[in-house]
Amino acid sequence: MRKIIHIDCDCFYAAVEMRDDPSLREVPIAVGGQSGRGVVTTCNYRARAFGVRSAMPGGEARRLCPELVMVPLDMPRYREVSRQVMAIFRELTDLVEPLSLDEAFLDVSEVETFQGSATLMARHIRQQVWERIGITVSAGVAPNKFLAKIASDWNKPDGLFVITPEQVDDFVKVLPVEKLSGVGPVTAGKLNDRGLQTCGDLREAGEAELVRLFGKQGLRLWHMAHGRDDRPVVVTRVAKSVSVERTFSRDLPGKEACQQVMTSLVDDLHRRLERKGSHKPLHKLFIKVRYSDFSTHTLERVREPGPDAMPVAGEFLPLLDELVTDEHRPVRLLGVGVRFREDSAPITQLRLFE
């Protein structure tokens, strides 16, 4: 059974604008659409109360809400905030699949922090994004992607909704077909015309009937109507490096203590590499030391070709030896990491994707 979190920022572009200009916080705002033929890309929840929506012509939005404040788009700023938000997700797991600037799926099935509780992880992420970035996000937790996405929308804005494996069946049975991914107004209309309103109705209609009506999509509907969705979380970003670091509750007294910690630190690195499922060839090893006065030093070396795919503690010790020149200087933090050999094919794909 997988644990999937879907996160979607609340009125994303508008939230960034409100964060950066307090005068916009208490008024209805729409982003984009200020020029004659421009459309609203998004609007805050105050504006939504007037019926303003994404993709609405600016003129119509102003008619619905005369005091609407129109804010021009600032894509570079939204991209930067998006990057920061995604970075918070990646502190939890590398299995992050961004769907757009403001939403992503996370597969946290293997994450052991937070006692393995995806609910606690989602709560943590929501809090971190609010405290560190200053916008709210809504999160959904479920055993698969399609349910997690429905869940994140359930208590929007600033909400969290969890569908546990035990709840899936009851939840799906009464779920309106419009909520299913891929079911737009046309498909929904066709289903409703046949008296099919909920996933429970789809189940009763039967697999053969759904396939007869909708072909391959019918089969997908049939599976979703049972709460099933096997699509994996696909990681499109190519990691250039992986590292782990540890801050000690009490400073290590010096180099020798660092050497002793190395084995368990490299074990952590192995786990992280395995979790990424990355078997790309390693190019470099690096090491990081932060002393008690917070000065931070790093050293990196090309890795000598050897028999092991995974780096071993013995390979990091010479770097430690070289980096730590004062044997008895207290160490606050120690980190180890690897850099992958540049691999041109996936990077090209990433550019296309972007």
Q: Does 12 bind ligand TTP (CB under 6 A)?
A: yes
Task: Give which of ligand TTP, Mg ion, none residue 243 binds (C-beta under 5 to 8 Å, depending on kind).
Answer: none
- The sign of the CA dihedral 63, 69, 75, 79 is negative
Q: Which residue, chain included where needed, has tokens 């790093």?
A: 298
Q: Return the one option of ligand TTP, Mg ion, none that residue 13 interacts with (CB less than 5 to 8 A, by type).
A: ligand TTP
Q: What letter would DSSP give residue 195?
A: T
C-alpha distances out from residue 348 to 78, 98, 99, 236, 342, Å: 24, 17, 18, 11, 11
The phi and psi torsions of 134 (rounded to 5 degrees) equal: 90, 25
Q: Which CB sits closer to ligand TTP, 71 or 141?
A: 71
Judge residue 63's burial from the number of C-beta atoms within 10 Å of its C-beta, 0-12 exposed, 13-18 middle, 19 or more buried. Answer: middle
Question: x-or-dash pattern for ligand TTP, window 280-319, by CB under 6 A?
Answer: ----------------------------------------
d(CA 233, CA 236) in angstroms, rounded, equals 10
Query: In the window 95-114, what residues touch Mg ion (CB under 5 A)?
Result: 102
- Binding residues with ligand TTP: total (CB under 6 A): 14
Kindly tell me which of 39 and 168 has the beta carbon lying closer to Mg ion. Answer: 39
Site residues for Mg ion, window 9-28 (CB under 5 A)? 9, 12
Instruction: Give the residue with the Cβ less far from ligand TTP, 17 or 201.
Output: 17
55 binds ligand TTP (CB under 6 A): yes
Choice from 34, 50, 54, 228 touching ligand TTP (CB under 6 A): 54
* Least gap, CB of 16 to ligand TTP (angstroms): 8
Q: What is the DSSP code (8-state) at residue 16?
A: H
Among 94, 97, 102, 229, binds ligand TTP (CB under 6 A): 102
Residues 260-279 that bind ligand TTP (CB under 6 A): none
Q: How far is the CB of 181 from ligand TTP (least distance, A)?
A: 14
Query: In angstroms, rounded to a whole number, what is the distance separating the alpha carbons of residues 13 and 118?
Result: 27
Number of residues located near Mg ion, criterion CB under 5 A: 4
Closest separation in Å from C-beta 45 to ligand TTP: 7
Contact 79, 101 (CB under 8 A): yes
**Residue with smaller CB distance to ligand TTP, 103 or 315:** 103
Q: State how far the Cα of 160 lies from the Cα of 155, in Å rounded to an integer.
A: 6
| For Mg ion, the closer CB: 12 or 146 | 12
CB of 228 to ligand TTP, least distance (A): 25
Which residue is it, tokens 């916008």? 135
Q: Confirm if 32 and 72 have CB atoms less than 8 A apart.
A: yes
Nearer to ligand TTP, 53 or 190 (CB): 53
Task: State the Cα–Cα distance between residues 62 and 57, nearest whole angstrom.
Answer: 9
User: Which residue in the list 60, 103, 166, 204 is annotated as catalytic?
Assistant: 103
Residue 55: contacted member of Mg ion, ligand TTP, none (CB under 5 to 8 Å, by partner type): ligand TTP
* 30 makes contact with ligand TTP (CB under 6 A): no
d(C-alpha 79, C-alpha 98), whole Å: 13
CA–CA distances in Å: residue 106 to residues 79, 205, 235: 19, 33, 9
Q: Give the Cα separation of 99 and 240 in Å (integer).
A: 21
315 given a catalytic annotation: no
Distance CA 228, CA 249 (A): 45
Q: Select the residue interacting with ligand TTP from 38, 57, 157, 159 (CB under 6 A).
A: 157
Give the sign of the dihedral formed by CA 94, CA 99, CA 104, CA 110.
negative
What six digits make up the tokens of 238?
Answer: 């190519």
Task: Examine residue 8 and tell whether it contacts Mg ion (CB under 5 A).
Answer: yes
Binding-site partner at residue 229 among Mg ion, ligand TTP, none, CB < 5 to 8 Å by type: none
Residues of this chain that bind ligand TTP (CB under 6 A): 8-13, 41-42, 54-55, 102-103, 156-157
Residues of this chain that bind Mg ion (CB under 5 A): 8-9, 12, 102
Question: What are the catalytic residues?
Answer: 103
